Amino acid sequence: MELAKLQRLGRSGSLDIALGIPPGDPPAAVVEAAVSALRKGRHQYADTAGLSELRAVIAADALRTHGVVVDPDTEITVTVGATEALLTALLTVTDPGDEVLLFEPYFELYPGIVELAGAVPRFVRLEAPDWRLTEEALTRVLSPRTRAVVLNTPHNPTGRVFDAQELDLLMNLCQERGIACVTDEVYDCTVFDGRRHLSPLAMPGARPTSVIVGSLSKKAQMTGWRIGYCIADPEMTEVLRRIHEHTTVGTNHPLQSGASALKASDVLDGRALFQDRRDELVAGLSSLGFTVRPPEGGWFVFAGTEALGWPARTLSRRLAESAGVLVAPGSPFFQRPEDGDRWIRTTFVRGAETTRAALDRIAAFLAAEAPPSG
Ligand SMILES: Cc1ncc(COP(=O)(O)O)c(C=O)c1O
């Protein structure tokens, strides 16, 4: 992984604005509930679908986020993070050799997860600067073997929050062609500028063929607890649960008990926390000459390096070696590394001071070092 190499290159004291690590810890009461579960002897297998009290917490969150009633008994499965949820969903909706549409640029784990499920990734190109989903791009890669599509909204890395027109287009196509939609909504708690996060969950016609993937990693600041979930209609959930049981037997019991203590007010309010920091990072990168489209949601700013004359991989390496700043090069988000060599991904979630200090270091570096010629 390119980023791991950069981390090794980075000197001590490097400022990491590459990775989406939450800025804080889970609420103290939630940590206490997990400790207490261990002390009370919750050491053995839990219900493989997930603790019923945790599924109730997830159903309440879905009601707040989407205004939709979800039955925790028959429609929610607790998984080992969104990562397992994605694999389980794809194993549920595809057979070996089926084709799965991925929007490029994509979250870097997607192609591997599709292949692990025995399916074949097919890439739908989103084009800068708007990264919009178009009918033309979609229909170009459709084939009789297309069985599923993975939609990530809010989107990592571009920051798109796909709008009603785009969602309608995709869902109509899915319904016409019998294609399942897996939506990765791990950043649903972070949408900017008064926009709304939209999900197939709230589209009655789309629900029977959709699997909504969510996670407590970002919304409860617990990436290491490895708690995610799938929401799907009861028929789909039966199959999901069989696969989930055969792959993991379920998520760990004591941390599920802890997470069950989450209250509505504990869910990270990404807009309140990050809107100003997003604005600051967008303004800072733009003033340094990067090409930036303000992200509509999610945790990242995807910034173009072409106007600066720097290939993104070289710039990321030199920033790590010389400026002590870690940014993610764009190549892992594209099939062909050269397509990503015009982009870096940065995050504003690491705190205002880190963001400002990183911008200062990048400014000093760009003033001191000329881009490679040719
Ligand atoms: C778009 C996206 N999906 C899934 C994940 C993985 O989430 P989890 O920690 O719940 O496995 C991440 C993590 O960064 C992500 O950015």
Band of the pLDDT at 3, cuts 50, 70, 90? Answer: low
> What pLDDT, on the 0 to 100 scale, is given for residue 336?
96
Which atom number of ligand 1 is nearest to the Cα of residue 85?
Answer: 11
What average pLDDT score do residues 7-36 get?
90
> What pLDDT, on the 0 to 100 scale, is given for residue 31?
98
Residue 4 Cα to ligand 1 middle (Å) = 17
What is the count of structural domains for the chain?
2
Site to probe by mutation for ligand 1, drawn from 106, 190, 218, 302 as the one with most ligand atoms within 8 Å of Cβ, is 218
CATH of the domain at 323: 3.90.1150.10
Read off the pLDDT of residues 37-68 as tens digits, 9 standing for 90 and up.
Answer: 999 999 999 999 999 999 999 999 999 999 99
Read off the pLDDT of residues 280-328 as tens digits, 9 standing for 90 and up.
Answer: 999 999 999 999 999 999 999 999 999 999 999 999 999 999 999 999 9
> What pLDDT, on the 0 to 100 scale, is given for residue 13?
85
Residue 186 Cα to ligand 1 middle (Å) = 6
CATH of the domain at 204: 3.40.640.10
Band of the pLDDT at 10, cuts 50, 70, 90? Answer: low
Band of the pLDDT at 374, cuts 50, 70, 90? Answer: low
Domain termination residue (choose one: 214, 242, 266): 266
Averaged pLDDT of the chain: 96
Site to probe by mutation for ligand 1, drawn from 185, 215, 251 as the one with most ligand atoms within 8 Å of Cβ, is 215
Closest CA to 312 of 292, 293, 298, 327: 327
> What pLDDT, on the 0 to 100 scale, is given for residue 4?
73
What average pLDDT score do residues 8-27 get?
87
Read off the pLDDT of residues 121-137 as tens digits, 9 standing for 90 and up.
Answer: 999 999 999 999 999 99
Q: List b or e across 130-162, with b for residues whose CB sees 16 or more CB atoms inside 10 angstroms.
A: ebebeeebbeeebeeebbbbbbbbbbbbbbbbb
Does residue 9 have a pLDDT over 80?
A: no
Read off the pLDDT of residues 208-250 as tens digits, 9 standing for 90 and up.
Answer: 999 999 999 999 999 999 999 999 999 999 999 999 999 999 9
Site to probe by mutation for ligand 1, drawn from 77, 103, 106, 107 as the one with most ligand atoms within 8 Å of Cβ, is 107
Domain termination residue (choose one: 266, 300, 335): 266
Task: Quote the domain boundaries for residue 302.
Answer: 2-22+268-368
Q: Is residue 100 domain-shared with residue 248, that is, in the same domain?
A: yes
Which residues surround ligand 1 with Cβ inside 6 Å?
20, 81-83, 107, 152, 156, 184, 186, 215, 217, 223, 228
Q: Is residue 150 domain-shared with residue 174, that is, in the same domain?
A: yes
Residue 350 Cα to ligand 1 middle (Å) = 17
Cα separation of 321 and 369, whole Å?
A: 13
Give the contacts of 288 (CB within 8 A, at least 6 positions apart): 308, 359, 362, 363, 366
Closest CA to 243 of 208, 282, 211: 211
Residue 83 Cα to ligand 1 middle (Å) = 6
Instruction: Supply the pTM of this predicted model.
Output: 0.96
